[in-house]
């Protein structure tokens, strides 16, 4: 993983060149710590983080990135205090309503990955409405990972394939990596080229475990509410300067 130094000069006008990532995935970490450092309740960090989501989404869309996947709520986050959980679910529902204009104005599509059986009915209702409003869009796909866990996703894919094999719809020998990918939540999306993590922790936290096998990793100490356009551009600029060999050798 690359540990990024805080940006000391604006990079918003940097040219990412021809190596723009098709798919950017972000672990939006540090909301609670951001608030606590300011003597605020943890929920205020989450509230301020929504503004960063809007700015980052608009910038990625303007750059021409095909997909942006945001780690909004992990399957392990249910261990948090009930008051914080209630606020997070309310904030998600509010986001799906209030950010419709951002999605529509930018021609974005919306998807949500993860298990849905524990999500409130209000969240699922607003998700369906927002998806319908964006169904005909052809711009960047914004993917929200909610009640998401990489291991759970892999287990769900295995269960689907096992059920098909049990029904005689496929032979186990026919299962390959491409078929397995088609049974993941992210089916139809390119794998992430660039994984960004805010908050400074050097781990992937059960996020897109299959899909990030060859992603370039970029970590910053900035908490998510402090993540700015220049930080995004620095991550993309660093990505564009790396050699991606995928296990092979660079000619010459």
Q: Which two tokens stand for residue 236?
A: 């993309």
CA 20 to chain centroid, in Å, comes to 17
Residue 231 among known ligand-binding residues:
no
Instruction: List the beta strands (DSSP E) in the chain.
Output: 2-4, 23-27, 67-74, 109-113, 141-148, 194-197, 216-220
Residue 77 a catalytic site member: yes
Which of 77, 206, 221, 226 does the annotation list as catalytic? Answer: 77
Residue 31 among known ligand-binding residues:
yes
State the Cα–Cα distance between residues 134 and 144, nearest whole angstrom.
Answer: 14
Residue 9 among known ligand-binding residues:
no
Q: Helix (H, G, I), strand (E, B), or coil: what is residue 10?
A: coil
Residue 29 among known ligand-binding residues:
yes
Residue 167 among known ligand-binding residues:
no
Non-local CB neighbours of 154 within 8 Å, separated by 6+ positions:
184, 209, 210
Residue 75 among known ligand-binding residues:
yes
Which of 15, 29, 106, 226 does the annotation list as catalytic? Answer: 29
Q: Which residue has the tokens 């130094």?
A: 5
Q: Which two tokens stand for residue 232?
A: 């995004």
Asked if 109 and 137 touch (Cβ cutoff 8 Å), the reply is: yes
Residue 80 among known ligand-binding residues:
yes
Residue 78 among known ligand-binding residues:
yes
Q: Which residues pair with residue 113 across a beta bridge?
A: 145
Residue 197 among known ligand-binding residues:
yes
Annotated binding site for substrate: 30-34, 42, 46, 74-76, 78, 80, 197, 203-205
Binding-site residue numbers are 29-34, 42, 46, 74-76, 78, 80, 197, 203-205, 216
Q: Which residues are catalytic?
A: 29, 77
Residues making up the annotated binding site for Mg(2+) are: 29, 216
């Amino acid at each position: 993983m690359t540990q990024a130094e805080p940006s000391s000069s604006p990079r918003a006008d940097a040219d990412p060149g021809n190596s723009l990532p098709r798919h950017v995935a972000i672990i939006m970490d540090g909301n609670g710590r951001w608030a606590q450092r300011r003597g605020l309740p943890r929920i205020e960090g989450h509230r301020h983080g929504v503004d960063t989501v809007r700015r980052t989404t608009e910038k990625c869309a303007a750059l021409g990135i095909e997909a942006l996947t945001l780690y909004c709520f992990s399957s392990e986050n249910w261990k948090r205090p009930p008051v914080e959980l209630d606020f997070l679910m309310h904030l998600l529902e509010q986001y799906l309503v209030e950010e419709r204009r951002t999605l529509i104005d930018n021609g974005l599509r919306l998807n949500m990955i993860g298990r849905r059986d524990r999500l409130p009915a209000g969240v699922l209702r607003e998700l369906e409405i927002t998806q319908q409003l964006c169904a005909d869009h052809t711009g960047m796909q914004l993917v929200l990972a909610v009640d998401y866990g990489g291991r759970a996703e892999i287990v769900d894919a295995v269960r689907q394939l096992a059920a098909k094999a049990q029904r005689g719809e496929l032979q186990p020998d026919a299962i390959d990596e491409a078929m397995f990918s088609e049974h993941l939540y992210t089916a139809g999306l390119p794998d992430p080229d660039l994984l960004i993590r805010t908050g400074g922790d050097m781990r992937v936290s059960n996020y897109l475990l299959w899909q990030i096998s060859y992603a370039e990793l970029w970590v910053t100490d900035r908490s998510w509410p402090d993540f700015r356009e220049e930080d995004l551009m620095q991550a993309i600029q660093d990505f564009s300067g790396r050699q991606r060999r995928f296990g092979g050798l660079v000619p010459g």
